[in-house]
Amino acid sequence: MRTILIVGMGAGDPGFLTLQAIAALQRADVVFLPEKGEGKAGLNAVRLRLLEGAVPAGGYRVVPFDVPERKVGETPQYKGDIGDWRGGLRAAYRELFTKELEDGQAGAFLVWGDPAIYDGTVGIVRELQAELGLAVEMLPGISAVQALAAAHRIPLNRVGEAITVTTGRRVAAGDADGLSSFVVMLDSHAGWRRFAGEDADIYWGAYLGTPDQLLMAGKVAEVGEEIARIKREAQEKHGWIMDIYLIRRTER
Protein backbone atom coordinates (compact mmCIF):
# COMPACT_ATOMS: atom_id res chain seq x y z
CA MET A 1 0.00 0.00 0.00
CA ARG A 2 1.20 3.51 -0.82
CA THR A 3 1.07 6.13 1.94
CA ILE A 4 0.42 9.84 1.48
CA LEU A 5 1.75 12.13 4.21
CA ILE A 6 0.16 15.58 4.39
CA VAL A 7 2.53 17.50 6.63
CA GLY A 8 1.80 20.88 8.16
CA MET A 9 5.04 22.83 7.77
CA GLY A 10 4.10 25.89 9.79
CA ALA A 11 4.28 29.48 8.65
CA GLY A 12 7.92 29.47 7.52
CA ASP A 13 10.04 29.20 10.67
CA PRO A 14 12.00 25.91 10.82
CA GLY A 15 11.16 25.85 14.53
CA PHE A 16 7.48 25.57 13.66
CA LEU A 17 7.97 22.01 12.38
CA THR A 18 6.62 19.67 15.05
CA LEU A 19 8.42 16.51 16.12
CA GLN A 20 5.60 14.54 14.47
CA ALA A 21 6.14 16.42 11.20
CA ILE A 22 9.89 15.80 11.25
CA ALA A 23 9.37 12.09 11.93
CA ALA A 24 6.90 11.89 9.03
CA LEU A 25 9.30 13.61 6.62
CA GLN A 26 12.05 11.20 7.63
CA ARG A 27 9.80 8.35 6.43
CA ALA A 28 9.11 9.91 3.03
CA ASP A 29 10.51 8.26 -0.09
CA VAL A 30 9.20 11.08 -2.31
CA VAL A 31 8.37 14.72 -1.59
CA PHE A 32 5.94 16.35 -3.99
CA LEU A 33 6.76 19.98 -4.76
CA PRO A 34 4.04 22.17 -6.32
CA GLU A 35 5.22 24.50 -9.07
CA LYS A 36 3.15 27.69 -9.27
CA GLY A 37 5.30 29.76 -11.61
CA GLU A 38 8.30 32.02 -11.16
CA GLY A 39 6.32 34.53 -9.09
CA LYS A 40 5.94 32.00 -6.28
CA ALA A 41 9.29 30.24 -6.55
CA GLY A 42 10.17 31.58 -3.11
CA LEU A 43 7.51 29.35 -1.56
CA ASN A 44 9.33 26.22 -2.64
CA ALA A 45 12.67 27.67 -1.55
CA VAL A 46 11.25 27.79 1.98
CA ARG A 47 9.89 24.24 1.64
CA LEU A 48 13.30 22.96 0.58
CA ARG A 49 15.09 24.71 3.46
CA LEU A 50 12.69 23.17 5.96
CA LEU A 51 13.05 19.76 4.32
CA GLU A 52 16.85 19.89 4.37
CA GLY A 53 16.78 20.84 8.05
CA ALA A 54 14.35 18.06 8.98
CA VAL A 55 16.06 15.35 6.90
CA PRO A 56 19.71 16.41 6.58
CA ALA A 57 20.77 12.97 5.38
CA GLY A 58 18.41 13.11 2.41
CA GLY A 59 17.13 9.72 1.29
CA TYR A 60 14.10 11.08 -0.56
CA ARG A 61 13.37 12.16 -4.12
CA VAL A 62 11.87 15.56 -4.84
CA VAL A 63 9.22 15.39 -7.55
CA PRO A 64 7.94 18.77 -8.81
CA PHE A 65 4.53 19.03 -10.43
CA ASP A 66 2.64 21.83 -12.13
CA VAL A 67 -0.35 23.27 -10.29
CA PRO A 68 -3.25 24.28 -12.57
CA GLU A 69 -3.77 28.02 -12.77
CA ARG A 70 -6.50 29.16 -10.43
CA LYS A 71 -8.84 32.00 -11.28
CA VAL A 72 -9.01 34.64 -8.56
CA GLY A 73 -11.72 37.05 -7.59
CA GLU A 74 -15.44 36.79 -6.99
CA THR A 75 -17.52 35.90 -10.04
CA PRO A 76 -20.88 34.22 -10.54
CA GLN A 77 -18.91 31.19 -11.73
CA TYR A 78 -16.65 31.08 -8.63
CA LYS A 79 -17.72 27.66 -7.33
CA GLY A 80 -17.54 26.18 -10.80
CA ASP A 81 -14.08 27.63 -11.33
CA ILE A 82 -12.90 26.13 -8.03
CA GLY A 83 -14.42 22.79 -9.01
CA ASP A 84 -12.51 22.83 -12.29
CA TRP A 85 -9.29 23.75 -10.48
CA ARG A 86 -9.73 20.93 -7.96
CA GLY A 87 -10.43 18.54 -10.82
CA GLY A 88 -7.14 19.52 -12.45
CA LEU A 89 -5.27 18.98 -9.19
CA ARG A 90 -6.96 15.63 -8.66
CA ALA A 91 -5.76 14.50 -12.08
CA ALA A 92 -2.23 15.70 -11.29
CA TYR A 93 -2.22 13.87 -7.95
CA ARG A 94 -3.52 10.66 -9.54
CA GLU A 95 -0.62 10.73 -12.00
CA LEU A 96 1.91 11.45 -9.25
CA PHE A 97 0.71 8.63 -7.03
CA THR A 98 0.57 6.03 -9.79
CA LYS A 99 3.83 6.96 -11.57
CA GLU A 100 6.09 8.18 -8.77
CA LEU A 101 5.19 5.92 -5.83
CA GLU A 102 5.76 2.18 -5.62
CA ASP A 103 3.83 -0.14 -3.35
CA GLY A 104 5.07 0.30 0.22
CA GLN A 105 6.48 3.78 -0.38
CA ALA A 106 5.41 7.07 1.23
CA GLY A 107 4.96 10.37 -0.57
CA ALA A 108 4.77 13.68 1.30
CA PHE A 109 3.23 17.09 0.70
CA LEU A 110 4.56 20.04 2.71
CA VAL A 111 1.50 22.21 3.36
CA TRP A 112 1.82 25.79 4.60
CA GLY A 113 0.61 26.30 8.15
CA ASP A 114 -1.91 23.66 9.19
CA PRO A 115 -3.49 21.39 6.53
CA ALA A 116 -6.91 21.80 8.19
CA ILE A 117 -7.12 25.56 7.57
CA TYR A 118 -7.92 26.77 4.04
CA ASP A 119 -5.98 24.10 2.22
CA GLY A 120 -7.50 21.60 -0.18
CA THR A 121 -4.77 18.94 -0.20
CA VAL A 122 -6.36 16.49 2.21
CA GLY A 123 -9.79 16.77 0.57
CA ILE A 124 -8.43 15.95 -2.88
CA VAL A 125 -6.23 13.13 -1.60
CA ARG A 126 -9.20 11.59 0.22
CA GLU A 127 -11.17 11.62 -3.04
CA LEU A 128 -8.46 9.34 -4.48
CA GLN A 129 -7.96 7.22 -1.38
CA ALA A 130 -10.39 4.40 -2.17
CA GLU A 131 -9.76 4.47 -5.92
CA LEU A 132 -6.00 4.03 -5.54
CA GLY A 133 -5.92 2.11 -2.26
CA LEU A 134 -3.98 4.76 -0.35
CA ALA A 135 -3.17 5.12 3.32
CA VAL A 136 -3.46 8.79 4.28
CA GLU A 137 -1.88 10.53 7.26
CA MET A 138 -2.25 14.22 8.14
CA LEU A 139 0.20 15.90 10.51
CA PRO A 140 -0.94 19.21 12.07
CA GLY A 141 1.23 22.30 11.86
CA ILE A 142 1.63 25.69 13.50
CA SER A 143 -0.88 27.82 11.62
CA ALA A 144 -0.40 31.43 10.55
CA VAL A 145 -3.29 32.22 12.93
CA GLN A 146 -1.26 30.99 15.90
CA ALA A 147 1.94 32.59 14.62
CA LEU A 148 0.22 35.98 14.24
CA ALA A 149 -1.10 35.95 17.80
CA ALA A 150 2.29 34.88 19.17
CA ALA A 151 4.18 37.53 17.19
CA HIS A 152 1.93 40.31 18.49
CA ARG A 153 1.74 38.74 21.96
CA ILE A 154 -2.04 38.87 22.06
CA PRO A 155 -4.87 36.39 22.61
CA LEU A 156 -7.09 35.82 19.60
CA ASN A 157 -10.31 36.44 21.52
CA ARG A 158 -11.45 38.67 24.36
CA VAL A 159 -13.05 37.13 27.47
CA GLY A 160 -16.11 35.09 26.61
CA GLU A 161 -15.98 36.15 22.97
CA ALA A 162 -15.97 33.97 19.86
CA ILE A 163 -13.33 34.28 17.17
CA THR A 164 -13.95 33.77 13.46
CA VAL A 165 -11.35 32.85 10.86
CA THR A 166 -12.42 33.93 7.38
CA THR A 167 -11.08 35.03 4.00
CA GLY A 168 -10.63 38.35 2.26
CA ARG A 169 -13.28 37.32 -0.25
CA ARG A 170 -15.84 36.81 2.51
CA VAL A 171 -14.88 40.12 4.17
CA ALA A 172 -15.46 41.93 0.89
CA ALA A 173 -18.89 40.26 0.71
CA GLY A 174 -19.79 41.76 4.12
CA ASP A 175 -19.71 38.54 6.13
CA ALA A 176 -17.57 40.11 8.86
CA ASP A 177 -19.54 43.32 9.24
CA GLY A 178 -21.33 42.12 12.38
CA LEU A 179 -18.32 40.48 14.03
CA SER A 180 -16.27 41.89 16.91
CA SER A 181 -13.05 39.89 16.44
CA PHE A 182 -11.99 38.00 13.35
CA VAL A 183 -8.87 36.75 11.59
CA VAL A 184 -8.58 37.25 7.84
CA MET A 185 -6.49 35.05 5.53
CA LEU A 186 -6.07 35.05 1.74
CA ASP A 187 -6.79 38.76 1.34
CA SER A 188 -5.27 40.17 -1.84
CA HIS A 189 -7.25 43.43 -1.81
CA ALA A 190 -6.56 45.08 1.58
CA GLY A 191 -10.06 44.33 2.86
CA TRP A 192 -9.27 45.97 6.20
CA ARG A 193 -10.04 49.30 4.56
CA ARG A 194 -13.70 48.37 5.02
CA PHE A 195 -13.30 49.15 8.73
CA ALA A 196 -11.28 52.37 8.50
CA GLY A 197 -14.29 54.46 9.53
CA GLU A 198 -14.80 52.54 12.78
CA ASP A 199 -13.02 52.27 16.12
CA ALA A 200 -11.22 49.10 15.06
CA ASP A 201 -7.71 47.79 15.70
CA ILE A 202 -5.68 45.70 13.25
CA TYR A 203 -2.85 43.29 14.02
CA TRP A 204 -1.13 42.46 10.74
CA GLY A 205 1.76 40.20 9.85
CA ALA A 206 3.55 38.72 6.83
CA TYR A 207 6.33 36.12 6.37
CA LEU A 208 5.68 35.11 9.97
CA GLY A 209 8.56 33.43 11.75
CA THR A 210 11.06 34.11 8.96
CA PRO A 211 13.93 36.62 8.78
CA ASP A 212 11.66 38.73 6.52
CA GLN A 213 8.85 38.91 9.09
CA LEU A 214 6.78 42.10 8.97
CA LEU A 215 4.44 43.25 11.75
CA MET A 216 2.23 46.26 12.30
CA ALA A 217 -0.59 47.09 14.67
CA GLY A 218 -2.82 50.07 15.43
CA LYS A 219 -6.11 51.66 14.53
CA VAL A 220 -7.19 50.68 11.03
CA ALA A 221 -7.77 54.35 10.20
CA GLU A 222 -4.22 55.25 11.23
CA VAL A 223 -2.11 52.36 9.92
CA GLY A 224 -4.25 50.74 7.20
CA GLU A 225 -2.72 52.60 4.26
CA GLU A 226 0.81 52.12 5.60
CA ILE A 227 0.19 48.37 5.79
CA ALA A 228 -1.06 48.40 2.20
CA ARG A 229 2.12 50.21 1.10
CA ILE A 230 4.43 47.84 2.98
CA LYS A 231 2.57 44.84 1.56
CA ARG A 232 2.93 46.11 -2.04
CA GLU A 233 6.64 46.77 -1.60
CA ALA A 234 7.26 43.39 0.01
CA GLN A 235 5.44 41.57 -2.76
CA GLU A 236 7.45 43.41 -5.40
CA LYS A 237 10.70 42.58 -3.59
CA HIS A 238 10.08 38.89 -2.93
CA GLY A 239 7.68 38.02 -5.73
CA TRP A 240 5.21 36.52 -3.25
CA ILE A 241 3.61 37.34 0.08
CA MET A 242 1.63 35.49 2.69
CA ASP A 243 -0.02 37.84 5.13
CA ILE A 244 -2.76 37.58 7.73
CA TYR A 245 -4.45 39.97 10.11
CA LEU A 246 -6.77 40.20 13.09
CA ILE A 247 -9.43 42.90 13.29
CA ARG A 248 -10.69 43.76 16.78
CA ARG A 249 -13.57 46.21 16.90
CA THR A 250 -14.83 48.14 19.92
CA GLU A 251 -16.77 45.79 22.20
CA ARG A 252 -20.50 46.29 21.84
Taking only the tens of pLDDT, the chain with its 252 residues reads 999 999 999 988 889 999 999 999 999 999 999 987 665 667 888 899 999 999 999 899 999 998 887 665 554 445 556 788 889 999 999 999 999 999 999 999 999 999 999 999 999 999 999 999 999 999 999 999 999 999 999 999 999 899 999 999 999 999 999 999 999 999 999 999 999 999 999 999 999 988 899 999 999 999 999 999 999 999 999 888 999 999 999 865
Supply the pTM of this predicted model: 0.88
Domain ranges of the chain: 2-139, 144-249
Tell me the CATH number for domain 2-139: 3.40.1010.10
Superfamily of domain covering 144-249: Tetrapyrrole methylase, C-terminal domain (3.30.950.10)
Strand partners, 33: 64
